[in-house]
Amino acid sequence: MEILSFAYFGSAILISALMVVVFKNPLYSAMSLLSMFAHVAGLYVTLEAEFLAGVQLLVYAGAILVLYIFVVMLLNVQAQGRVLQKQTPVVLGAAVVAIVEVAFLISRTHFYPELPPVPQAGIVPLGNTETIGMVLYTKYLFPFEIASLVLLIALVGAIVMAKGKLKLR
């Protein structure tokens, strides 16, 4: 059962990612990316990370992708004649080398076997969201605050970048 769901989600993720790269129209690429995000969220559910699956759908598919599609439609980008760059053969050769290298590394790596569940006597087992909240607001409180600063800088930077000179052409 688990192998079946991994096979479905994994193949769907890979096929949608390939479609993002090969489609000529950027709107079709964005739609394929939506399919990839949804299937990655499904993979998270099978990996017992339900909170992250929800965050993946809300933030990636809900916010980031809508922003992309908005910009694609705002700029009215048409599908252009050539998809690929001039140096495509060189890049494809380098990609083949990289794939062989990663496959060799994975085949030679000794992975840990699955560890048994940690027995915690006297502690009520919490759900996924509660556990993440507990760790995020205690152990990772300072990085959490830094993340808010990163988002603030991105907010200001995006406005400054996109505003321009406020001069009509």
Partner 1 sequence: MVPLSWYVGLSSALFLIGLVGVLIRRNTLVVLLCIEIMLNAVNVNFVAFSKYQHVIDAQILVFFVITVAAAEVAIGLGIIISLFRLKGSVNIDNFNILKL
Site for partner 1 in 105-134 (CB under 8 A): 106, 109, 111-112, 114-115, 117-118, 128, 131-132
Among 73, 98, 127, 141, binds partner 1 (CB under 8 A): 98
In the bound state with partner 1, the residue whose beta carbon lies nearer, of 122 and 161, is: 161
Cα separation, 39 vs 43, whole angstroms: 6
The reply to whether 75 sits near partner 1 by the rule CB under 8 A is yes
In angstroms, the CA 151 to CA 136 distance is: 17
Smaller CB separation from partner 1, 87 or 121: 87
Distance CA 139, CA 129 (A): 15
Does residue 142 bind partner 1 (CB under 8 A)?
no
* Interface map 41-60 toward partner 1 (x if CB under 8 A): --xx--xxx-xx--xx--xx
Burial of 40 (0-12, 13-18, 19+ CB in 10 A): buried
CB of 121 to partner 1, least distance (A): 16
Phi, psi for residue 117 in degrees, rounded to 5: -60, 140
Burial 10-36 (b: 16+ CB within 10 A, else e): eebbeebeebbeebeebeebbbbbbbb
Q: Smallest distance from the beta carbon of 163 to partner 1, in angstroms? A: 9
When the beta carbons of 85 and 122 are compared against partner 1, the nearer one is: 85
